[in-house]
Structure 1
Amino acid sequence: MLSTCTAFILSKTEIITNAHCVAGAPYIYVVAGTKVALEKNLIKVEKGRFAYHPHYNESIFGAFDIAKITLEKPLEFSDTVGSIKLVDKDYKLNNSSEVVTVYGYGVLNNIRPITLRRCDAKYIFDVKRANIFNPFQTLYFTTGDSTKDGEIITAGDSGGPVVSKTNGKIVGITMGISGTTGGRGMFLPITLFLDFIHDPKSVKPIPPSLTPNEVKFIADIVVQPKFLTAYNEDYADTDENFQLQFNAIILSETEILTCAHNVHGAPYVYVIVNKLTSNTKTIKVTKDQIEIHEKYAFPGLTFNIAKITLKEPLEFNDNVGSIDLVDKDYKMNDPSEMVTIYGDMELGGSVRTRRYDTKYLDGAKCKTELDDLFDANHLMCYTFDESMGNPCAFGGPMISKKNNKLVGMTIISLLDEPVIFQPIAPLLDWIQKPRP
């Protein structure tokens, strides 16, 4: 007996399903044009003709769980075999009353042969489960009245199409089920994967996690959110052991640089160095060791910088070291200059320390895109490729590829918008002045 998944046809040679339905298989079989999934008229597809998303990770449930199958011989379209269109990239799943139709070959009550079923459903966003599944990829739908054969969401429905009853186009791909049969199903919004569907090779692989030596100048700041001015209301009811983690930059054996909002209001924080090795060192830092720029005012973003002075110097080695600062006269006025951003970035539910190269944008463009949030006199921004992960590297360094020196520090990132950073050169006097 073959393991069954559902899929949908885009063209005579293109089929879409879940990555977990094909990942690791030397070959698969495709059958089209039948309501009953019988093991005959199967089309064998070798491994080289199906590709799953390069960011897919089988250990992270639901992350980038999509695959494309390219047939060697085109299907013959007929009354029972045909294609369906996808929604456009700007389609928004923002109407909780909209009804979708879900199709699948899932096994129901262990009854065989397996029959294609469908049901109408509404989609929701389950806030309570947002910490389990990536909320920017995974949405839920609740099953409605199904046709004849009972509830739709069962084993085997994975990879099936979620079709809008408004426009008759694919809006999602079924990924799995939360709870028991007939419970909430989960699907991936198809708009996030249009680039992959049209050209799987166009999606960049995930940047690998960096080695300890590559990030020896990066430290982490760990703090309980209830202490922080920027977070205490949001996390007021969380367990006291719950902590937030931010990035920081090692300037010398006794000096650490980070964002002001990473430490503002906290009576103490922890600094972690050598974090990617078994010799990680955690240092408790009290409020008297933290200096916040005198012009910083929450919730503003300008002068969002803080310096930590350690009581005991760090021991520099192959995995712990510092980064040089640019000179005071350094000008960020060349839009073609490449810089490298370092920090912890989330992708598919997994946070890793990564780097990526980018270009910075001039203040006028940032101001246009970010409006009043952006102060073009003190801040700059850079574009971020969302396929590389969501940046959570507040306090992470930006290093010039031209001179290998620190030119900026990430302040804040907003989904689908430029990432704001603080140029270092205008703040050198403050950074380098001795503590009072």
Structure 2
Amino acid sequence: MSQAKFVAGIYTPARYLYAFKDNLTDADREMQSTCTAFILSKTEIITNAHCVAGAPYAFVVAGTKVASDENQKIKIKVEKENIAWHPYYSHLIVGAFDIAKLTLKTPLEFSDTVGSIKLVDKDYKLNNSSEVVTVYGYGVLNRPMILRRCDANYISDVERAITFNPVQTLYFTTGEATNDGKIITHGDSGGPIVSKTNGKIVGIAVGINGTTGGRGMFLPIALFLDFIHDPKSVKPLPPSLTFNEAKFIADIVVPGKFLTAFEDSYANADEDDQMLFNAIILSETEILTCAHNVLGAPYVYVIVNKLSSNATELKVTKDQIEIHEKYSLSGFAFDVAKITLKERLEFNENVGSIDLVDKNYKLNDPSEIVSVYGDMTLDGTARTRRFDTKYLDGAICKSKLGAAFDANNLMCYTLDESMGTPSTFGGPMISKKNNKLVGMTIFRFPDEPVIFQPIAPLLDWIRKPRVRRNQRRRI
């Protein structure tokens, strides 16, 4: 234990845990869930949220090589009010913000077998795949639950992080364990990932991923230092909007197999494999969304008043969809489409439009606050939310996003990951100053600002009458 004196064990009654209670049999309800943790100080213990979320209490054991021993010398009960898990944690999304902090009322007594470990700094980057990390845990490979460690390399998995949007970048351990068993297994959850280079915590184990050959998953600890030092410092979730607050937002439901922008990803999809995007209600007959949301689709469904039980769903065919003539799949500028409805929407207190800014309106005040609306999955389900942010001018966006960014026609806004990220695009950006539509969310790259299309330069195109092909005449 002198080699791993910073490792602790966590016991909680499984029947209370959000992550397990729905899947327990009657025989399992008295089962104790066991996880690993690490000691940050005499009163601070860090583990996974899924190990404690929902539990009325937890037991922390320390200074022990065998966590399953009933006669622990150090076994401290922690009540619910002293257990804080990340406010964005959801048991519905694997790995999402899966971290918790337990505060001990009775401080630990440090000794040769009980001690703490330091964390890396906030700016620490896991960017060297040849670096070796050591994984510690009380995994249940066998009984009794004996503390193990093994060395491994890691890899970043950016694509999987996007899939679990908006989960911070997950990392996976690679290679073979240096002793018996797998790198990470059940019971190792919450265990520390320690750099062999600097001897500090660089990650926290969150589970196993079957699609990567059973590799262990962990989150970089540097992303959670604010929460660890003060759980209350994490900003509250953006509010889930009421019917009236979201009345100018529509959804676009599209069969993915037809979308030109996603044809490689959906090559083997069928028509039931649908994608969901946001859109903006401009009038009783006009809907605005991104071009890439609808390009190639023979039909889409427009859904309004989606937050109520009286949602309206309208089928729109290709001839009702107009793509901006300057839009190209090779870039992001002019990524806008207008849908003209044949059946007029019935406006009421839950369905309405948003006013547009004037043609000469300029987004040139970096202190201006804009409200971003969109579907976000912070708490495990896609809810329509809004958050306030500031925007950056085109030159700054260009410096951050590189050659793919058209600074003449696009802008971007700053993003606080903790406040959430729109998971669907085509949602409105509304000025807090005049309560009018100033932009539309287009796209984002991982760990980069979000690209948006300013509305003012598009007003002529948006307002021009819809001309059907069979109505065109030569002069």
TM-score where L is the length of structure 1? 0.89
Between the aligned partners of 2:298 and 2:313, the Cα distance in structure 1 is 17
Contact 1:143–1:185 under 8 Å retained in 2: no
Q: Tell me whether 1:229 sits opposite 2:267 in the alignment.
A: no
Ranges in structure 2 where 5+ consecutive residues have no aligned partner: 1-30, 468-475
- Structure 1 Cα separation of the partners of residues 305 and 394 of structure 2: 35
Which residue identity lines up with residue 387 of structure 1 in the other structure?
S
How do 1:308-319 residues align onto structure 2 when only pairs under 5 Å count? 308-319=339-350
What letter is aligned with 2:137?
G
Which among 156, 177, 183 is matched to residue 145 of structure 1? 177
Partner residue in 1 for 2:116: 83
SS in 2 for 1:197: helix
Indicate the residue corresponding to 1:69 in structure 2: 102
Separation in 2, partners of 1:45, 1:257: 52
The CA deviation string for residues 327-369 of structure 1, in whole angstroms up to 9 with x for no partner, is 2232222222211111112336542211011122222222222
Q: Which residue identity does 1:144 align to in structure 2?
A: E
8 A contact 1:123–1:140 mirrored in 2: yes
Matches within 5 A, 1:238-257: 238-257=269-288
SS at match of 2:262: coil
In the TM superposition, residue 195 of structure 1 has moved relative to its aligned partner by 2.1
> Could you say if the C-alpha distance between residues 142 and 363 of structure 1 is closer, same or farther in structure 2, counting changes exceeding 3 Å?
closer
Q: Take 1:370 and 1:13, find their aligned partners in 2: how far apart are those partners?
A: 43
Aligned partner of 1:269 in structure 2 is 300
Q: Indicate the larger mover: 129-138 or 99-108.
A: 129-138
Q: CA deviation at 1:433?
A: 1.6
Q: Indicate the percent of aligned positions where both proteins have the same amino acid.
A: 76
Return 5+ residue gaps in structure 1 as ranges.
none
Change (3 A) 1:402 1:133: closer
Cα distance change of structure 1 residues 399 and 10 upon mapping to structure 2, 3 Å threshold:
same
What is the match of residue 384 of structure 2?
Answer: 353
Deviations 1:28-62 (A, max 9, x none): 22222221234333223333323111111234343
User: 1:42 maps to what in 2?
Assistant: 75
Cα distance, 1:304 vs structure 2? 1.9
1:396 Cα deviation from its structure 2 partner: 0.6
2: CA distance, partners of 1:25 / 1:143: 35
Shift of 1:90: 4.2
2:404 and 2:270 mapped to 1: Cα distance? 32
Q: Deviations over 1:171-218 (max 9, x none)?
A: 221223346xx9433322223322211222221122232222221111
SS class of match (2:412): strand
Give the conservation status (yes or no) of the 8 Å contact 2:373–2:422.
no
Give the whole-Å Cα distance in 1 for the aligned partners of 2:418 and 2:430: 21
Q: Secondary structure at the match of 2:216?
A: strand
1:7 is matched with 37
Query: Of 85, 98, 117, which residue of structure 2 is paired with 1:52?
Result: 85
Aligned-partner SS, 1:144? coil
**Structural mapping, 1:150-299, within 5 Å:** 150-151=181-182, 153-178=184-209, 183-299=214-330
Aligned length: 432
Tell me if the contact between 1:341 and 1:355 (Cα under 8 Å) persists in the aligned partners: yes
Distance 1:33 1:5 in 2: 15
Deviates more, 1:345-354 or 1:28-37: 345-354
Distance 1:83 1:76 in 2: 11
Aligned partner of 1:106 among 139, 144, 148: 139
In 2 relative to 1, CA 328–154 (structure 1 residues): closer, same or farther, beyond 3 Å? Answer: closer
Counterparts of 1:306 and 1:129, CA distance in 2: 29
Amino acid at match of 2:463: Q
Between 37-46 and 311-320, report the one with greater CA deviation.
Answer: 37-46
* Equivalent residue, structure 2, for 1:320: 351
Distance 2:163 2:59 in 1: 32
SS in 2 for 1:327: coil
CA gap of 1:306–1:127, structure 2 versus 1, over 3 A, is closer
1:19 aligns with 2:52: no
Residues 263-412 of structure 1 aligned to structure 2 (within 5 Å): 263-347=294-378, 350-412=381-443
Q: Could you tell me how far apart the structure 1 residues matched to 2:162 and 2:430 are?
A: 32
* SS of 1:5 mapped into structure 2: strand
Which residue identity does 1:168 align to in structure 2? G
Partner Cα distance (1:128, 1:252) in 2 = 38
How far, CA to CA, are the matches of 2:229 and 2:440 in structure 1? 36
Distance 2:160 2:451 in 1: 29
Residue of structure 1 in register with 2:13 after alignment: none
Task: Write the letter of the residue equivalent to 1:325.
Answer: L
- Conserved? CA contact 1:63–1:137, under 8 Å: no
What amino acid sits opposite 1:419 in the alignment? Answer: V
TM-superposed deviation, 1:389: 2.1
Partners of 2:276 and 2:424 within 8 A in 1: no
Shift in Å at residue 16 of structure 1?
0.7
Q: In the alignment, is the contact (CA less than 8 A) between 1:122 and 1:144 conserved in 2?
A: no
Instruction: Identify the range of structure 1 (268-277 vs 253-262) with the bigger mean alpha-carbon deviation.
Output: 268-277
Structure 2 CA distance for aligned equivalents of residues 341 and 394 of structure 1: 11
Shift of 1:10: 1.7
Over the aligned positions, Cα root-mean-square deviation in angstroms equals: 2.7
Cα displacement (A) at 1:251: 0.7
**Structure 1 pair 350–141 and aligned structure 2 pair: CA distance change class (3 A):** farther
Once the two structures are TM-superposed, the CA of residue 96 in structure 1 deviates from its matched residue by: 4.9
Aligned partners of 2:404 and 2:182: how far apart in 1? Answer: 47
C-alpha deviations, 1:224-257, integer Å up to 9, x for none? 3332232112322334421222111111111011
